[in-house]
């Protein structure tokens, strides 16, 4: 909050409306403000970053899209299969704070480019691993997680620096649409390539080519250095009082702090803490659903005798295709709806963002519970309620990032995003795929080896997600108690 030493200007009047751009253009009696639209180049840069985010999340969910084939190839139990995603997310979250530190201090374009090159190369290499080297396949997934951490940590901060006011909310919403879109297309790509080629390994050979294109676009279109805007820059640069600190050395002096000081400050920011725990609940649910929902639907169909057991490769991938399509559709609709509802409700309630997140989490938990209960009797009803559950989860993606960006001072945002990634994945989707699989294994071990108990074991373990969703809603309610004071502190 004590960010701008030596730069004096008249304090702004109290504002009722805020959003992803908590640092707004201030009006004062002595400073007329002229609004200028972002340069077309900024939209182009954002499009490149969105494309990279698409590939990022496609790589995340290739494995769940062909999980049956991978289990058959490497002879993996439910618990071991869940560990595949756990290894990926553990490496991802442990690398995130490192990239957050680097992103706040060094050239972000170079870090992004190196990350894309690394994870694309490892993904391509994993497509040539035979069933004799299962441990190498696990290792490759961990290395891909390290590469993707660089992107998820740094790319949003570049977008945040390119736009002002409501434009940032819109651009970040578009960026985060590609989380569910990329996730869903990961299922579709994996299942389609396995069906077309008859070999699941080909699913890992498409995204590296897309990553190569992303790297070329990044090199050509994203500037070598992107300006980091502070709250004072955002308040004054448009009026012409200052343009950039580099043009007038000494005009703007930023207090330098250590990483440890940044972490301590963030730990005292209760809006950041509680919203991060709410995001953790979201990550837990999405990680479990993403890994196991197609498998759960397959087992429900076995119980209803809609399909026959998978005895040859490739296995039936219709559930992955349908679930992938649902993820894409609900993701786009959910993120857009969440951003628009938040934009409107902020005009009448400064606590709108956390209250929207809390409501959507409670509703999502109820929909997922109903989906689990009706799965044995109606696959169609299960798909419908799963779709609603994912829709309400997707409402929160951009809104949670909005909260972070206006309760955390700009010079700590990369570190804050990195810490949020660490916490949400450590306690969320790093463990949920393995935990659901392990609980399923434990239940199966104590009962008959039958299709019925195979389904029930997964159903009982999945119920945990509904309870986690209720806790997530509670965390967002707690956020609403602190958000106004923390926003004012960050602006100050």
Tens of pLDDT along 213-250?
999 998 888 776 655 554 444 443 333 333 333 444 44
Output the average pLDDT for the chain. 80
Please compute, for residue 111, the number of CA atoms within 13 A of its CA located in the half-sphere on the CB side.
27
Structure token digits, residue 121: 């190369």
* Average pLDDT over every residue of 77-84: 81
Whether 260-491 and 38-226 are alike in CATH topology: the answer is yes
CB 387 within 8 A of CB 326: yes
What are the distances in angstroms from CA 251 to CA 241, 299, 400?
10, 65, 33
User: What CATH number matches the domain at 260-491, 3.20.20.140, 3.30.565.10, 1.20.1250.20, 3.40.640.10?
Assistant: 1.20.1250.20
CB 50 within 8 A of CB 58: no
What are the distances in angstroms from CA 346 to CA 173, 225, 240, 341, 447?
16, 33, 29, 8, 52
* Average pLDDT over every residue of 76-85: 81
* Average pLDDT over every residue of 164-188: 79
Q: Which of 239-243, 272-276, 346-350, 370-374 has the lowest mean pLDDT?
A: 239-243
CB 48 within 8 A of CB 170: no
Asked if residue 27 has pLDDT above 60, the reply is: no
**For 249-274, what is each residue's pLDDT tens digit?**
444 445 567 878 888 989 999 999 99
Please give the pLDDT value at position 210: 92
Name which of 458, 454, 393 is nearest 428 in CA terms. Answer: 393
Asked if residue 407 has pLDDT above 80, the reply is: yes
* Average pLDDT over every residue of 319-331: 85
**pTM of the prediction?**
0.72
Please give the pLDDT value at position 38: 57
Please give the pLDDT value at position 1: 35
Please give the pLDDT value at position 369: 95
Name which of 159, 224, 171, 186 is nearest 56 in CA terms. Answer: 186
* Average pLDDT over every residue of 314-336: 82
Class of the CATH-defined domain 38-226: mainly alpha
Q: Hey, where are the domains in the chain?
A: 38-226, 260-491
């Amino acid at each position: 909050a004590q960010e701008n030493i030596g730069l004096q200007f008249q304090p702004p009047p109290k504002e009722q409306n805020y959003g992803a751009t908590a640092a707004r253009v201030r009006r004062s009696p002595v400073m007329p403000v002229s609004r200028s639209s972002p340069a077309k180049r900024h939209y182009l840069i954002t499009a490149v970053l969105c494309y990279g985010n698409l590939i990022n999340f496609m790589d995340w969910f290739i494995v769940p899209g062909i999980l049956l084939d991978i289990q058959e190839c490497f002879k993996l139990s439910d618990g071991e299969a869940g560990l595949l995603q756990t290894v990926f997310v553990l490496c991802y979250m442990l690398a995130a704070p490192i990239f957050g530190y680097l992103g706040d201090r060094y050239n972000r374009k170079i870090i992004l480019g190196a990350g894309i090159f690394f994870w694309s190369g490892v993904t391509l290499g994993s497509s040539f691993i035979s069933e004799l080297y299962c441990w190498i396949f696990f290792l490759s997934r961990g290395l891909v997680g390290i590469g993707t951490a660089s992107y998820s940590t740094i790319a949003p901060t570049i977008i945040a620096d390119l736009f002002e006011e409501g434009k940032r909310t819109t651009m970040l919403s578009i960026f985060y649409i590609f989380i569910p879109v990329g996730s869903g297309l990961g299922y579709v790509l994996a299942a389609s390539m396995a069906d077309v080629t008859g070999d699941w390994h080909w699913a890992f050979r498409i995204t590296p080519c897309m990553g190569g294109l992303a790297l070329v676009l990044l090199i050509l279109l994203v500037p070598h250095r992107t300006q980091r805007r502070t709250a004072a820059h955002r308040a004054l640069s448009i009026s012409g009082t200052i343009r950039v600190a580099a043009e007038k050395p000494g005009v703007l002096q930023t207090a330098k702090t250590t990483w440890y000081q940044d972490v301590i400050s963030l730990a005292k920011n209760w809006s950041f803490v509680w919203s991060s725990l709410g995001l953790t609940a979201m990550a837990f649910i999405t990680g479990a659903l993403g890994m196991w929902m197609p498998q759960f639907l397959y087992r429900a169909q076995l119980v209803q005798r809609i399909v026959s057991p998978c005895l040859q490769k490739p296995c039936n991938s219709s559930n992955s295709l349908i679930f992938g399509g649902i993820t894409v559709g609900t993701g786009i609709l959910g993120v857009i709806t969440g951003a628009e509802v938040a934009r409107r409700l902020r005009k009448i309630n400064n606590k709108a963002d956390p209250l929207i997140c809390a409501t959507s989490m409670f509703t999502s938990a109820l929909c997922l519970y109903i989906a689990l209960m009706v799965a044995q009797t109606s696959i169609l009803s299960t798909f419908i309620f799963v779709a609603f559950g994912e829709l309400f989860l997707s409402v929160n993606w951009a809104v949670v990032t909005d909260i972070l960006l206006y309760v955390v001072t700009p010079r700590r945002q990369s570190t804050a995003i990195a810490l949020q990634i660490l916490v949400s994945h450590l306690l969320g989707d790093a463990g949920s795929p393995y935990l659901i699989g392990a609980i399923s294994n434990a239940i199966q071990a104590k009962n008959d080896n039958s299709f019925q108990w195979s389904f029930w074991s997964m159903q009982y373990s999945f119920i945990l997600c509904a309870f986690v969703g209720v806790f997530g809603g509670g965390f967002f309610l707690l956020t609403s108690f602190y958000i106004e004071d923390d926003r004012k502190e960050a602006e100050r």
